[in-house]
Amino acid sequence: MKIAMIGTGYVGLVSGVCFSDFGHEVVCVDKDPGKISMLEAGNIPIYEPGLEDLMAKNVAAGRLSFTGDLANAVGDADAVFIAVGTPTRRGDGHADLTYVYAAAEEIAGALQDYTVVVTKSTVPLGTNRQVKQIIRKTNPDADFDVASNPEFLREGAAIDDFMRPDRVVVGVQSDRAEDVMADVYRPLFLRDFPVVVTDLESAEMIKYAANAFLATKITFINEIAALCEKVGADVKQVSKGIGLDGRIGNKFLHAGPGYGGSCFPKDTKALARIGQEHAMPMQITEAVIKVNEEIKRRMIDKVMDLCDGSVNGKTIAILGVTFKPNTDDMRDAPSLTIVPALVGGGAKVRVVDPQGKHEGTKLLPGVNWCDDAYKAAQNADALVLLTEWNEFRALDLKRLAKRMAQPRMADLRNIYSTKDVKNAGFTHFATIGREGFQSEG
């Protein structure tokens, strides 16, 4: 199969590289000459474990290439994937489809033989039908079908998610398009991974419903955590106890400072907007959005309480600012709410993150970046663990406590036990939904 991937952002690049590893001939297209030059040089503009090596392997095999020439890439393609951004539109919370529709119009002018135009971007219901209308209007003689193929990639584990998916969702309108998509995903068909073939609208809805449900699970356990703090329960035990129920499952039941990233914030807002437009308010989703923002602000209060009600003039070490580990993605990360509030409160903030500095430098002005947790903790008044990178999971707590001016710690990912933190010499410890401690005097 010959595949053109329009867009080399996170979804487009990961999908293009993985399709080439399936054995397809893939051309990734982007309008940014700098990005194309970077990719041709063997470098990737994102951090995703294993992606750079997999890309190099398939470039060397002659199956993967990069270009700014959309027309040439699309002309002889069997399938053209639209994988451009759909950011939240300012003002109304809807997904901005400007890039999707522009790509559709440009693709239309380049179509030659029968081609399936596949929307990989996350788009509101009805978008694929609109893409079809744009192509038909632009090129009335084109022989094509449209398909919806939403992605379900977790940043930090995207290659494994693509190669060994829980399911592949394909929305089509014709048997011909279904056959092409079956060829595209043949390696997964042969290994019996579940493939859900449905209509366009159902495929579009599956993506939004899945992300809204996962965001709801995260927000639910975070609310339970807040209640646990009031009644003396331990949210880690509660999560384990309910997660063992097969109807509930244990994933996405880890209390923390709220969800962020490129998908959940954007997709919950878009789903809420779709519901409003159809006079069917998504009340649960709207509540999730509201509560998630409250959770982030509650984390600020935790740090303030840890510092006796004020951070003014105090040095605070922040461990991790990306929205999750194993990614450099800062989009809607809790740190973007928490850190500016601390800086605004007069704190001197030091930050450590294995991959967050590139994006974080411009997003978090007024902070000092350190190479490791121990340098950040030197003479600090408080330490806040915000993102659970592996290098923060086995810290020498005694070494940290000795370096600090005031050995106080807020573990906002519940990595460390209260006993271990206390034995290490910390005097104050704040957690999420379980017992911390504060020394007398």
Longest dimension (CA), the chain: 81
Closest CA to 326 of 82, 161, 84, 86: 161
φ/ψ (deg, to 5) at 29: -115, 135
Residue 13: partners with Cβ closer than 8 Å, 6 or more residues away: 5, 28, 39, 44, 45, 46, 51, 55
Q: Which two tokens stand for residue 316?
A: 């605070």
Strands of 408-411's sheet in order across = 368-369, 348-352, 315-319, 382-385, 408-411, 428-430, 437-438
Buried b / exposed e over 77-88, threshold 16 CB at 10 Å, is bbbbbbbbbbeb
The CA R_g of the chain, rounded to the nearest whole Å, is 24
For residue 391, the 8-state DSSP code is G
Catalytic (active site) residue 370: no
Q: In the chain, what is the straight-line distance between the N-terminal and C-terminal CA atoms, in Å?
A: 71
Give the C-alpha distances (Å, rounded to integers) separating 267 from 84, 209, 210, 264, 313.
Answer: 15, 9, 10, 5, 39
CB 407 within 8 A of CB 401: yes
Catalytic residue among 18, 263, 307, 370: 263
State the Cα–Cα distance between residues 151 and 159, nearest whole angstrom: 12
Q: Which two tokens stand for residue 369?
A: 């970046």
Residue 384: partners with Cβ closer than 8 Å, 6 or more residues away: 303, 316, 317, 318, 319, 338, 409, 410, 412
Catalytic residues: 263
